[in-house]
């Protein structure tokens, strides 16, 4: 403290002495206690400035649900690097979605491009497998894919599924048109020679509702195998065929049996020029359909049958001598007022070009159009006939064949829907014959035949009784005589046996007689030989006798 100095005052009066006035000298130096809040304020200002300097833009992302998201904790990541944090989560006004406010970092300003995509990474089971397992421990987070647009935005619509194609993925997209999606889903694998080379990026229903448009992405370097001649087909499930060659089983990979897939290949391994981005192809139902030669334009045909269509279903083949040239589209029933009977219309789709002879040397077919070819074949006796395709299931199909004896019909192939003439099948003829036989059998007098049969059986019974009596008579009278005769025959045989034994006298005499005959024959042979040499001895005698 500084010294206190007295201040000069007026000279006091001699009667009373005044009291001195003491004034403290003022201290202008601040107290040390105020340094702490000042330093804290400076540090706070520095931190706020640093945060503001490092803080990036704020964006809002709309999701259908906030499952797995938590304000102040959920991170936004790009390639596993944190680029922001979720600040708040609130419902939209219509309460159909949630709006997530995200604070990005300063170095993540590029993620405000208008084409940037965001999605929630959580455990998922999809056609491409299980993803997001790492979030089981760390929790869900928002994934990001940087856009390339020069326009920026602060509001984004989040994806409900992770994108298949992200920035940095090289390859090309192709467009497939199919009648239905089958088992195809986002992420479904695409195979080339049973090697996974891409995935399904998206699929949408056509505006007319008659088909599906599927976009597939083929990775580099496999995209160079997709040419203008390439064919795509569903590789889902198992393709089982049972024919004259035996049982065949085909599938692209084990995963396609459960999850499905798409495969592609070019006929005769000639893909042609490499297809450009977004080239459109037709997605066939199976490999055989994809590899088949182009069918050309289809024609709608109508066939009327006067018989049951049980076993015939839409999709049944139209067969011409083993070659499928179309399929049944629908079946129905109509009442013919003129003939006063029901008839069964069958609508089908055929490809007349399949009946054309494929020959490079003969251009005669080029002079005939599809309608003219069908007109010519019908005039030659082409008719439609229902035939049994499977005896076990009772399924039938429509067969086209030639029947030269079929009646002539008026046929005009110029109508938009051709009406092919039909002919009953052999089964109907057999049924008619069986019905005729049954009718004839019903006319047989079974009662009269039964009465006659009864009379015949009674007469046969009497005859059997008489035969039985005759048998007893024979057994009583004839049997003893037969027994005596048999005994005489046995005695005769015994005598003959004794006579013919080797040691019997008859056998010995016969043996001696045979020996004498043998010696006589030898002497006769010697005499014959001598006479052949000396025939004069018959007249002159032996030379020995002459010498004597």
Question: Cβ of 427: how many Cβ atoms within 10 Å?
Answer: 14
Strands 246-250 and 239-243: antiparallel
Q: Kindly report which listed range (127-131, 159-163, 323-327) carries the lowest average pLDDT score.
A: 127-131
Per-residue pLDDT, 23: 61
The Cα 136–Cα 30 span in angstroms is 58
Q: For residue range 418-446, what is the model confidence (pLDDT) as tens digits?
A: 888 888 876 666 666 777 787 777 777 87
Give the residue, 85 or 515, on which the prediction is more confident: 85
| Model confidence at 328: pLDDT above 80 | yes
Q: Per the omega criterion (within 30 degrees of 0), is the bond before 218 cis?
A: no
Per-residue pLDDT, 27: 54
Q: Kindly report which listed range (244-258, 279-293, 356-370, 523-537) carries the lowest average pLDDT score.
A: 244-258
Q: For residue range 200-253, what is the model confidence (pLDDT) as tens digits?
A: 988 899 998 889 999 999 999 999 999 999 999 988 755 555 443 444 555 555
| Model confidence at 264: pLDDT above 90 | yes
Check: CB of residue 327 under 8 Å from CB of residue 300: no
Query: In this structure, which long-range contacts are made by residues 295-299, counting pairs with CB atoms below 8 Å and at least 24 apart in sequence?
Result: 295/351, 295/353, 295/354, 296/351, 296/352, 296/353, 296/354, 296/370, 297/351, 297/353, 297/370, 298/326, 298/349, 298/350, 298/351, 299/349, 299/350, 299/351, 299/352, 299/370, 299/371, 299/374, 299/418
| Model confidence at 256: pLDDT above 70 | no
Per-residue pLDDT, 165: 82
The Cα 424–Cα 544 span in angstroms is 115
Q: Kindly report which listed range (340-344, 374-378, 504-508, 524-528) carries the lowest average pLDDT score.
A: 504-508
Q: For residue range 114-124, what is the model confidence (pLDDT) as tens digits?
A: 889 999 988 76
| Model confidence at 21: pLDDT above 70 | no
| Model confidence at 393: pLDDT above 60 | yes
Per-residue pLDDT, 126: 58
Per-residue pLDDT, 240: 53
Read out DSSP for 230-291? -EEEE--S-EEEEETTEEEEE-S-HHHHHH--EEEE-GGG---SBPPTT-EEEEESSHHHHH
Q: Kindly report which listed range (186-190, 257-261, 319-323) carries the lowest average pLDDT score.
A: 257-261
Per-residue pLDDT, 244: 37
| Conformational region of residue 193, where left means phi above 0, alpha means psi within -120 to 50, and beta covers everything else | left
| Model confidence at 41: pLDDT above 50 | yes
Which of the listed ranges 60-74, 462-476, 491-505 does the model predict with the highest average pLDDT?
Answer: 60-74
* Mean of pLDDT values over 67-81: 89
| Model confidence at 400: pLDDT above 70 | yes
The Cα 295–Cα 323 span in angstroms is 13
Share of the chain above pLDDT 70, in %: 79
- Chain-centroid distance of CA 245 in Å reads 18
The half-sphere exposure of 198 on its side-chain side, counting CA atoms within 13 A, is 28
Q: For residue range 143-201, what is the model confidence (pLDDT) as tens digits?
A: 999 888 889 898 999 988 888 888 878 899 999 999 888 888 888 899 999 899 999 98
Check: CB of residue 127 under 8 Å from CB of residue 260: yes
Check: CB of residue 216 under 8 Å from CB of residue 200: yes
Per-residue pLDDT, 54: 67
């Amino acid at each position: 403290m500084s010294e206190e100095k007295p201040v000069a005052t007026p000279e006091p009066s001699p009667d009373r002495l005044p009291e001195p006035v003491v004034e403290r000298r003022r201290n202008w130096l601040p107290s040390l206690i105020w340094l702490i809040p000042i330093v804290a304020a400076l540090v706070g200002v520095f931190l706020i400035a640093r945060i503001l300097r490092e803080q990036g833009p704020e964006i809002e992302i709309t999701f259908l649900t906030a499952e797995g998201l938590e304000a102040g904790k959920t991170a936004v990541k790009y390639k596993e690097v944190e680029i922001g944090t979720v600040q708040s989560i609130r419902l939209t006004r219509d309460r159909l979605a949630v709006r997530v406010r995200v604070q990005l970092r300063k170095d993540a300003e590029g993620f405000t491009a208008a084409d940037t995509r965001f999605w929630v990474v959580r455990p998922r089971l999809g056609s491409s497998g299980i993803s997001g397992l790492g979030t089981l421990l760390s929790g869900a987070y928002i994934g990001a894919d940087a856009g390339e647009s020069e326009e920026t935005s602060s509001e984004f619509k989040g994806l409900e599924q992770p994108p298949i194609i992200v920035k940095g993925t090289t390859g090309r997209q192709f467009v497939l048109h199919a009648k239905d999606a089958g088992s195809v889903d986002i992420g479904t694998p695409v195979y080339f020679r049973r090697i996974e080379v891409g995935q399904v990026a998206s699929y949408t229903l056509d505006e007319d509702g008659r088909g599906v448009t599927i976009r597939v992405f083929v990775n580099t370097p496999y995209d160079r195998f997709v040419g203008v001649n390439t064919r795509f087909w569903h590789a889902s499930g198992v393709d089982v065929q049972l024919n004259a060659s035996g049982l065949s089983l085909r599938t692209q990979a084990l995963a396609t049996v459960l999850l499905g897939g798409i495969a592609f290949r070019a006929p005769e391994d000639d893909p042609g020029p490499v297809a450009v981005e977004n080239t459109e192809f037709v997605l066939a139902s199976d490999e055989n359909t994809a590899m088949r030669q182009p069918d050309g334009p289809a024609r709608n045909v109508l066939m009327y049958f006067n018989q049951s269509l049980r076993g015939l279903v839409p999709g049944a083949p139209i067969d011409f001598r083993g070659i499928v040239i179309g399929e049944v589209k629908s079946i129905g029933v109509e009442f013919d007022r003129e003939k006063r009977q029901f008839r069964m219309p069958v609508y089908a789709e055929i490809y007349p070009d399949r009946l054309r002879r494929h020959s490079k040397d003969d251009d005669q077919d080029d002079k005939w159009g599809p309608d003219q070819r069908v007109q010519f074949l019908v005039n030659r006796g082409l008719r439609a006939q229902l035939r049994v395709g499977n005896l076990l299931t009772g399924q039938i199909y429509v067969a086209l064949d030639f029947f030269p004896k079929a009646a002539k019909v008026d046929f005009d192939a110029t109508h938009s829907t051709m009406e092919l003439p039909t002919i009953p099948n052999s089964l109907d003829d057999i049924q008619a014959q069986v019905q005729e036989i049954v009718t004839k059998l019903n006319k047989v007098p079974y009662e009269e035949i039964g009465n006659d049969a009864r009379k015949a059986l009674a007469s046969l019974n009497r005859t059997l009784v008489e035969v039985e009596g005759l048998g007893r008579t024979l057994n009583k009278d004839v049997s003893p005589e037969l027994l005596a005769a048999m005994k005489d025959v046995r005695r005769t045989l015994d005598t003959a046996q004794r006579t013919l034994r080797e040691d019997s006298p008859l056998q010995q005499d016969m043996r001696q007689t045979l020996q004498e005959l043998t010696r006589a024959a030898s002497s006769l042979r010697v005499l014959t030989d001598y006479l052949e040499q000396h025939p004069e001895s018959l007249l002159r005698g032996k030379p020995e006798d002459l010498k004597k």
